[in-house]
Structure 1
Amino acid sequence: MQVELNSVWQVNRFDGLDDGLYRVLKLYMEQRVVVLFFLSDSKALLRPLKVGFDSFNEAIKAGNVLPSLYDLPYYQLQHDDDISEDHLAKRDEKYTLIAGLVSDPEFLLDLIERPRSKLVSLHAKMHDTYVQNVYRALNLYWKYAQERNALLPAYKNSGGRGKSRVAGEIKRGSPIQLSSPSIVAPKGVNTTESDKKLFIKAMKKFGLKGEGVRFSRVYDKMLKEYYAEELIAAEAESREAKVPNYRAFIYWIKKLVPTDTLIRKQTSQGDFDRNKRGLIGSATDHTEGPGSCFELDATVLDVHVVSDFQRNHVLGRPTVYCVVDKESRMIVGLHVSMEYASWRAGRQALINSFTAKKEYCEQFGIEIEEFEWPCSHIPLRLLCDRGEFICKDAEDLAVPLIGHLSIAPPYRAELKGIVEHRFNILNEKLVHELPGTTKGKQYDRSVKDPRLDATFTLREITKLLIDEVLEHNSSIFQDLAKQSTLLIESGLSPTPLNYWNLHVKEQRHALSKADEVHVRSRLLPTTKVTMTGKGIRLSDQMYFESDHPDFGSWKIIARNTGSWSLDALIDHDNSSFIYVRLEEEGSFTKCHLMKESANFANRHQADILFFRDWVKLEKGKARPTVKSIERHQRKKQVIESALEDTKAAPKVGSKYERIKGMKERRREAILAQRLEDSCGQSNPLSSKTNSEPSSRHIDDSKKKVISMLKRKKGTDNET
């Protein structure tokens, strides 16, 4: 290792030298000598030392002498324009004392070899000063890198700055300023060392307990706790209490208790970690490219929604899940539902993140191309909350698919700062401008209840959020330009979409792909559906059909021999389709909603549940009306009257006699009905005449002969 002028070395176990830091002052290569100066903080005057260059070099190779650093004082690290003229004058005056000595190349060697050298004394006499002054200037010059600013006055140590002074009898500090000359301010007392100890004790007991407490409150409690005897005696003697005033308390607390300790101890650990700790870097310091880490989180949306079936029914505030790529800020997945934050809703957000978005957007009437939202990938790591993902289902189902699942500690929302900030963006740009929004505030009785303004259904809110997500992915974020040079090299704007596409194109990502059926089969639980003669039945209201070539045959079998159950995967975001395992050893097949169940198409699971609840309530409301009761009573009366007339009729001896001639009587009844109908049409007032003419008319009609076509024998049994 090369030995250079002014370099600093840490010396350990070197013959002839004490252990410590040394500066190289001069190299005399002809004599193979190195001149060193011991860097000490003491005020004692020191002389340079010389060692053999070869032995010094061998000590470096052996590790006994190591390169080191020695910091220069801050007042020496300034430009001359920033130094006052008085300090420059004093610097130049000291340098004049030693300029002739330090400019002599043989001075150091002569000073070391001749301890009684007269060069320094002669130089002191020449400038009419003491020898010690010259040696002090030389020591400063050698200690601080042999340059002129080493001789600047060190006023930083003057005046006892930062040191506490012992209080005397005279009151220190400025007196209280009063405008009225007739009022005399109390003299007050000086703060003693015992008072300072009580100040610290009071702060530890009353003010540093993990919550914000005003200094005035701590001061009041301190007086009651530690100065009670003096306050009682002063009141009894009608004099001013000899206790420190509030201004002195504040002054010494800020001096004795470090500011960072006050900040840390006057809040909870969670709040300090989230909002007040020192930042250690960027959120993307540990990500290498898109897909290195996805952040997932949920929040209750700041807007109320209504039912898709009945808009006058308010459902409440939905829960929105958002999945964001940490590196590119790309929103890769979205899920909106009435579910609370849970694994049930979280897995739907993962499915949306891992599958193509074009078909998803089409469900809400939004036409996009794949390149507009090209996110259908699985990340290397997923960062999420403890609440919904610290469960056995998430570990067993999500971990094998993703690879690594990171759970954030409780009350540490800042560890998922990227996705948390996306919620703020969505709220500011969309949600807080919608009817029915709470604007992130608690309900106040003085303002209108936002639930009364609820307008949008869950499907409409989701559609608005999708458009806002597409807008976000195409927005400019300046921080992206600092993370990679690809954007600048390609001449593209720093948007999440451009960042994602460029890094995927250049294979600088950690993304992986999986089939949609595989994703759903891994994350969604299997539900039982029934194969019936009509189709695949789900929940008694919804029927699905498949394009499988044997599906028609299976319906025939189910109708004639009985139904059977099948395994299915249900998407809670869209009821238009389900995935069903049609064959015992087959994979899941996508089945679509049948036409008779079209009312449930593109419905969210929340709307389906609302429909079921509405049917239950309507069934419960079914009660007999007044008209229904009247009809029931008429029916009962007719039955009873008929039974009485039957009992009053003459008895027939046998069953044969009762049914004998039934066909002839049926013909007579038909004929009588036809005659009655024809008479009623020709003479509407015939009903007002008495029964005798009517009976005579019937008797006359019986005398007429009517020819009717007869069927051949054996035709009665034909169908």
Structure 2
Amino acid sequence: MSNLSVGMIVEWISEQEDSTPLVERILWVNPTATDLVSIQLDEPLALPVWKRLADIEEALSNGSAIIRVADPYVHRLHPPESFLLKHRQRRDAAWKVIEDMVSRVPDIYDENIRGGLVADAANQHSVHKMTVYKYLRRFWWGGMVKNALLPSYERSGGPGKEKSANSASKRGRPTKATVLRDAPPGINVDDSIRRIFSVAFRLYVDTNKALTLKRAYSLMLSNYFNVGFEVKGGVRVPVLPPSHQLPTLEQFRYWYKKQQDIEASFTKREGARRFALKRRPVLGSSTKMAFGPGSIYQIDATIADVYLVSGLNRSQIIGRPVVYVVIDALSRMITGLYVGLEGPSWLGAMMALANAASDKKTFCSKYGISISDEDWPCKNLPMEILADRGELLSRHADELTNSLNITVANAPPFRADWKGIVEQQFRIANERVIHWVPGAVRRVARERGDLDYRLDAKLDLNAFTEIMIYNTLSYNKMHWMEWYRHDEFQIQSAVDPFPRTLWNWGIEHRSGFLRTRPQEAVLLALMPRGEASVTHLGIKWQGLYYTSEIAVREQWFIRARATRTWKVSVAYDPRNIEMIYIIQPKGGIEACHLLEKNQDFAGYMVEEVQDYVADRKLRKAEIKTDILQERAEFMAQVDAVVKAQENLTEGAVSTDQSNHKRVKDIRQNRREERERVRKAEAWELAEQPSTPRKIGSSSQSNASASSSTVESRKRGFLNILKQTRKSD
């Protein structure tokens, strides 16, 4: 039974890059499934043609053709309501012309019959025959629906039905946008999409053009998933549907890896000679590949088997840290170390490489450890870095090559001998120190009532880094590598298999591979980048505020307050939150210092600050209901007071008292009210006499006389003051 059905869009694949793709829609399949009728899309004079169904199916099976998932006319099925109201009459008029004709299937597809039908319709509706053909083409191109007769409107790709593979639900883990923003879930990769993937792999990836998967993905979307074209600036550009109606780059990459013939792919992309030189599996010893110190560094990461606490809030368990190590392949010397909370990524690899090229004496002093240069004599860059394909197989590898002239080799998967050097170090670190510190992961099954080992966490990130430094110093100096294979020259020199001893021997006998670059150049090439906002409060980054000489000199903060904020590119060292560096557009950097109000964060790592800020945001979100409730109660209380006072005031204001009079007496009223308030608020420390005095007594008479005299003087003073103001 054929899988082809009416309405499907078939695209024929051309090996010519610049050729216009031939795309056609199936209009009819005969009941015996031997023939079908199709029409070429976007061809001004196209008419239906008959084809053998078996020929189409064979082309689909061998990759000469594909079924287009995205329908370039789907936007006309659900036009905007305003557009439909405006053009409904034109659509209905066109439909009236061809309604009877298109119902005569398959006669309408027979060129010997179609001409007469068109002529009759033209005469009946008083239109030109070319107009009838225009309506027919628009109807067939658009999927044989009435709305296909609407004129073209802006092809924004409007919402359509999601494609799925044998189910109505999206397979796989939902994206963050789906979970957090209720975004559409996307589409599954069905057989039709897989065929398109295969064509894209053949045309764009497995060729000597060596396009990246990301570039190939973009070309595939433009050529095989567009919903049409529009002209912008004189250029015909493809219009893509909404992203949730397209396969993702991750799906494209997954199916490429699943279907990829690695050797054939790289041979086509790079040629047999280059593949043999750079890509062939390496089954020998990586020690023998490294001729001298610095010829090859290996880098890898592991999640340490220990739980840590936050340095800012020691009651919070922050999980397990990630440990990166950089090891010299010849000597097994640990040349770089980084401990952080970032998962295995470029950021962690960058920090480890920066440490490998930095002065270890200075590095150790930051953690209170005093060493000599001889204790850890590694502060250079290598010629080549061998990394697991996850961390450095990205655009950052190009940055290493372009900025630092370091070759990055990403070894094939399942390379036991290559990866073994670093993995041995992780195993040694676990045995020597990690399994013995509080919070270490216990692999044995817990009995009922046993304490959760995570609750035993006591170390913060700085303390664990300090322990790993001590472990590295001990390993480099005195770890006897019984399994180490000496070459004939090392045997002649009777070199003991200690990492530092082998390193020093290599420096003396096989130098020339280590490279030195200015520290600032190394750090700038490796530092992660970000964006900071210039505000009137300072340069804001990661919730903290900074300042710099150029910001003060050029009045950035005043400008930000007067106009608006703007973004600047910054580089930063995750280990030192006290400074960030603005990347100047014309080259160079500008150091920014942490403002005094944020000095409480000085000395902490970026990860800890991010964790703290995230915790604060989470806490704010948790108590948002309480805040809103408190605000509602406050407003209700204020409203009650205001309403009560409004009633009192409205009842006290005389209707015959003019507004002018009320405003004129404000100053006098204020004085009188002030006197009243003063008397009410006056302090009386002595108790009032409890014995009542007789009325008419001498003391009372004196008091009355005195009070009368005071009041008389007040009135006299006020009269004099009023007369003075009138005279003024």
TM-score, normalised by the number of residues in structure 2: 0.51
1:438 paired to 2:446 = no
Unaligned segments of structure 2, at least 5 residues: 1-281, 694-699
TM-aligned CA deviation for residue 473 of structure 1: 2.1
State whether residues 292 and 510 of structure 2, in contact with CA within 8 Å, keep that contact through their aligned partners in structure 1. no
Distance 1:641 1:557, change over 3 A: closer
Is the Cα–Cα contact under 8 Å of residues 413 and 420 in structure 1 kept in the other structure? no
Cα distance in structure 2, aligned partners of 1:704 and 1:494: 111
Give distance in 2, aligned partners of 1:515 and 1:345.
21
One-letter amino acid of the structure 2 residue matched with residue 676 of structure 1: A
Question: Are 1:577 and 2:579 matched, yes or no?
Answer: yes
The answer on whether the counterparts of 1:443 and 1:449 sit within 8 Å (CA) in structure 2 is no
Counterparts of 1:697 and 1:345, CA distance in 2: 92
Counterpart pick for 2:546 among 544, 547, 562: 544
Structure 1 position 559, deviation (Å):
4.3
Structure 1 residues 330 and 612: alpha-carbon distance in aligned structure 2, compared to 1, 3 A threshold: same
The C-alpha deviation readout for 1:517-551, integer Å capped at 9, x for no partner, is 32333334431112334432113x21223356964
**Cα shift at 1:595:** 2.3
Aligned CA distance change for structure 1 residues 545 and 357 (closer, same or farther; 3 Å): farther
Quick one: which of 427, 451, 471 aligns to 1:468?
A: 471
Kindly provide the CA deviation profile for residues 474-520 of structure 1, in whole angstroms up to 9, marking residues without a partner as x.
2253668956979998x997643354356446671401122333233
- Indicate whether 1:357 and 2:360 are aligned: yes
**1:638 aligned residue:** 641
Superposed displacement of residue 611, structure 1: 1.6
**3-state SS of the aligned residue for 1:284?**
helix
Contact 2:295 2:382 in 1 (8 A): yes
CA distance in structure 1 between the aligned counterparts of 2:706 and 2:490, rounded to whole angstroms = 107
- Structure 1, unpaired ranges of 5+: 1-278, 715-719
Residue 703 of structure 1: which of 695, 703, 711 is its match?
711
Superposed, 1:281-680 pairs within 5 Å as: 283-397=286-400, 401-439=404-442, 441=443, 443-445=445-447, 448-477=451-480, 482=486, 495-501=498-504, 503-504=506-507, 508-539=511-542, 541-546=543-548, 551=553, 553-581=555-583, 583-620=584-621, 621-622=623-624, 623=626, 633-649=636-652, 650-651=654-655, 653-678=657-682, 680=684
Task: Give the aligned residue type for 2:682.
Answer: S
Letter in 2 for 1:390: L
Aligned residue identity for 1:599 = D
Contact 2:287 2:329 in 1 (8 A): yes
Partners of 1:566 and 1:626 lie apart in 2 by 39
- Considering only CA atoms, is the larger Rg found in Structure 1 or Structure 2? 1
Letter in 2 for 1:543: Y
For 1:100-115, list aligned pairs within 5 A.
none
Distance in 2 (CA, whole Å) between partners of 1:544 and 1:555 is 11
Contact 1:528 1:567 in 2 (8 A): yes
Residue deviations 1:410-463, cap 9 Å, x none? 223332322222112211211011011125x26545654321211112222112
Superposed CA offset, 1:290-321 (max 9, x none) = 10110111111011112223323222222111
The aligned length equals 425
Contact kept, 8 Å, 1:576 with 1:601, in 2: the verdict is: yes
- Whether the aligned pair in 2 keeps the contact of 1:288 and 1:509 (CA below 8 Å) is no
Offset at residue 383 of structure 1 (A): 1.2
The 5-angstrom pairing of residues 210-225 of structure 1 reads none
Farther-moved stretch of structure 1 (523-532 vs 622-631): 622-631
The answer to whether the 8 Å contact 1:473/1:495 transfers is yes
Summarize the Cα distance change of 1:565–1:371 in structure 2 as closer, same or farther, 3 Å threshold: farther
Q: Distance in 1 between matches of 2:303 and 2:333?
A: 21
C-alpha separation in 2, matches of 1:549 and 1:512: 36
- Indicate how the Cα distance of structure 1 residues 417 and 634 shifts in structure 2: closer, same or farther if over 3 A, else same: closer
RMSD: 4.1
Task: Return the offset for 1:565.
Answer: 2.0
Query: Deviation per CA, 1:315-347, whole angstroms, max 9, x where unpaired?
Result: 222211111111122211112222222233222
Against the structure 1 CA distance between its residues 280 and 391, is the aligned structure 2 distance closer, same or farther, given a 3 Å change threshold?
closer
TM-score (norm 1): 0.52
Q: 2: distance between equivalents of 1:418 and 1:704? A: 106
Aligned in 2, Cα 1:484/1:332: closer, same or farther, shift over 3 Å?
farther
Partner Cα separation in structure 1 for residue 339 and residue 675 of structure 2: 71
One-letter amino acid of the counterpart of residue 604, structure 1:
M
- Return closer, same or farther for 1:679/1:324 CA change in 2, 3 Å cut-off: closer
The 5-angstrom pairing of residues 45-56 of structure 1 reads none
Q: Is the CA contact 1:331–1:469 (under 8 Å) kept in the aligned structure 2?
A: yes
| Secondary structure in structure 1 of the residue aligned to 2:682 | helix
Q: Which amino acid aligns with 1:574?
A: N
Tell me, in whole angstroms, the C-alpha distance in 1 between the residues paired with 2:366 and 2:420: 31
Q: Say if 1:507 and 1:410 are closer, same or farther in 2 by CA, change over 3 A.
A: closer
Contact 1:520 1:569 in 2 (8 A): no
Change (3 A) 1:534 1:365: farther
What does the per-residue CA deviation read over 1:271-305, in whole Å, with 9 as the maximum and x for residues that have no partner?
A: xxxxxxxx997542222211011011111101111
* Identical amino acids, percent of aligned pairs: 29
1:459, 1:468 → 2: CA distance? 14
**Counterpart-to-counterpart distance in 2, 1:631 and 1:565:** 38
CA spacing shift, 1:520–1:430, aligned 2, 3 Å? same
- What amino acid sits opposite 2:290 in the alignment? T
